[in-house]
């Protein structure tokens, strides 16, 4: 049950990597920071039998194809893909340049879409697979502290999740999304400002930031064999900031 986690070297990606590996899955940690991915993998298993790090730029199709080839050579068929790699830039809407828009979309949306194509086709050939895309509350409510390009990219990720779920359902591959709200993470604290965190938490109905470990648990559940009846879904974990 080899799993690939993009953007897995740190942050939420690292939490997901640790959770999947704790469940007994070999994990391929893919990140544009290849050194960071290798460092995390070696800290988990210096032998490389259950964790390995890979350099991968999800904005580059050739890089994703090479990633799949390398992981299959090292571990065998890929059964789980977590599209976690993302770029966040909290730029005011009318200050977003075409270059910055392309930079964010190429990672967050195009990278996810392309990985679903490449790994989804591989999984379909095997007759089994679990793809979990990381969406965001920002893609549902238009964003608050995050940039408009980030919010737009995550909305597109949720639509792509449904597209691939419908296409792959009959071939044993499920495709789902997890949509976190603000998490208790360095990135969120940096965007909000440490001095504003307490007030920000009061704006959340449950009164606290989310826990990345719980997000990782949610991903692991959707990535499990028992989740065969869940596809095309988006599981919200946002503290009540968005209800539907």
DSSP alpha helices (H): ranges in the chain?
Answer: 11-22, 34-44, 61-75, 98-105, 111-126, 138-141, 148-168, 186-192, 197-202, 212-222
Distance CA 149, CA 2 (A): 32
Would you state the structure tokens that stand for residue 215, as one six-digit string?
A: 């997000």
Task: Supply the DSSP symbol for 226.
Answer: G
Q: CA neighbours within 13 Å on the CB side: how many for 108?
A: 28
Longest dimension (CA), the chain: 51
DSSP 74-120: HHSSEEEEEE---------GGG--HHHHHHHHIIIIIHHHHHHHHHH
What 3-state class would DSSP assign to 171?
helix
Q: Which residues contact 191 (CB under 8 A, 6 or more apart)?
A: 88, 90, 145, 146
Spatial neighbors of 2 by CB under 8 A, at least 6 apart, are 25, 26, 27, 28, 71, 75, 76, 77, 78, 79, 80
Name the residues annotated as catalytic: 150
- Give the CA radius of gyration of the chain: 17
């Amino acid at each position: 049950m080899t799993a690939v986690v993009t953007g897995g070297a740190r942050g939420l990606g690292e939490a997901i990597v640790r959770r999947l590996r704790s469940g007994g899955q070999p994990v391929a940690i893919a990140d544009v920071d290849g050194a960071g991915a290798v460092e995390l993998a070696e800290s988990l298993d210096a032998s490389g039998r259950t964790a390995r790090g890979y350099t991968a730029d999800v904005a580059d199709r050739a890089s994703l194809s090479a990633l799949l080839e390398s992981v299959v050579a090292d571990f065998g068929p890929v059964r789980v893909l977590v599209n976690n790699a993302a770029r966040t830039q909290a730029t005011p809407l009318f200050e977003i340049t075409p270059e910055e828009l392309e930079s964010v979309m190429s990672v967050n949306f195009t990278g996810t879409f392309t990985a679903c194509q490449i790994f989804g086709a591989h999984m379909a050939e095997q007759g089994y697979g679990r793809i979990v895309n990381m969406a965001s509350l920002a893609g549902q409510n238009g964003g608050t502290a995050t940039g408009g390009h980030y919010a737009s990219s995550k909305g597109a990720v949720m639509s792509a999740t449904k597209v691939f779920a419908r296409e792959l359902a009959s071939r044993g591959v499920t495709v789902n999304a997890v949509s976190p709200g603000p998490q208790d993470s360095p990135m969120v604290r940096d965007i909000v400002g440490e001095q504003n965190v307490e007030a920000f938490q009061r704006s959340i109905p449950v009164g606290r930031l989310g826990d990345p470990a719980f997000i990782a648990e949610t991903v692991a559940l959707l990535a499990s064999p028992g989740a065969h009846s869940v596809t095309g879904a988006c599981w919200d974990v946002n503290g009540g900031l968005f209800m539907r």
